[in-house]
Amino acid sequence: MSSVDMSSLFGSSQTQSTSLTGMLGDYASIKNGSYGKLLKAYYKKQETDATSDEVKEENTKRTKLKNYASELKDAASALSDPSLYKEGDYEVTLSDGTKQSSKYDMDKILEKAKSFVSAYNSAVKNGASFDEDSGIAKRTLSLISYTKKNSALLSELGITTSSKDGEEGQLTIDEDKFKKASAGTVKSLFSGSGSYGSVVENKASLIASLAESQATKISSYNASGSYDSGSSALSSFFSSGV
């Protein structure tokens, strides 16, 4: 009769016993709710991480818009600077290389106008991408609408609204036409209370203020999915109006 390998037999029994003990331990964990608690904690962490990423993204988006709108406000204000419109003996160079004399430094004024157009386009493009519920899109559309109302005078300066797909509402500038235009038209558009420039300043300021207040409010968004009701940003948001 062949001998039986007793160590193998006992080793197998020990493995089975360990496996059975593990199964009983798992069953006990399920029965007493430990597994359920672990799963809830795991998925809550995943949800919190996702929420945190969304909050950061929304915060960044509004902070960028606040900066764009602030740049637009400053660019509009720069065109109202009286020093731009001091008369003198100047010369401007057109794109074909020809030169012409001017009473005003149209090259310097053009640079300010180009900064305005660039800042306007950045603010409009980003502001229009927000949902209507935010209030930002509504204020951006108000800015676009007001610019359209002044399109005739802006056109005299070579500043027109683009109709290209994806660029609707944005401005383009014909540099040669601007240099040939009347500096008086530029001044009347951007200087003085009630001028196009002053209204744009105000609208840009409102957009920047709303974007900033919403960014601050979003920053106070906590892991439980609620806002800090004591945040001053929340009250300033409602008091700012649309």
Q: Where would I find the beta strands (DSSP E) of the chain?
A: 90-93, 99-102, 159-161, 171-173
Work out the pLDDT band at 59, boundaries 50, 70, 90.
confident
Give the model's pLDDT for residue 168: 77
- How many Å separate Cα 113 from the centre of its chain? 23
How does the average pLDDT of the chain come out, rounded? 79
* Residue 172 dihedral angles phi and psi, to the nearest 5°: -125, 155
Say what the pLDDT of residue 216 is.
83
Q: Return the axis-axis angle of helices 196-219 and 106-127, rounded to nearest 10°.
A: 40
Cβ-proximal residues to 111 (8 Å cutoff; 6+ apart), any chain: none
What is the residue extent of each domain of the chain? 56-240
pLDDT in tens, 113-169: 999 999 999 999 999 999 887 899 999 999 999 999 999 999 999 999 987 777 778
Write out pLDDT tens, residues 96-124: 999 999 999 999 999 999 999 999 999 99
- Write down the pLDDT at residue 131: 85
Going by C-alpha positions, the residue among 79, 73, 94 that lies closest to residue 202 is 73
Distance set, CA 72 to CA 119, 149, 154, 201 (Å) = 5, 18, 16, 7
74-88, 186-200, 205-219: which range is least confident on average? 205-219
The full length of the chain comes to 242
Is the pLDDT assigned to residue 242 strictly greater than 80? no
Taking only the tens place, the pLDDT of each residue in 20-41 is 455 555 555 555 666 556 556 5
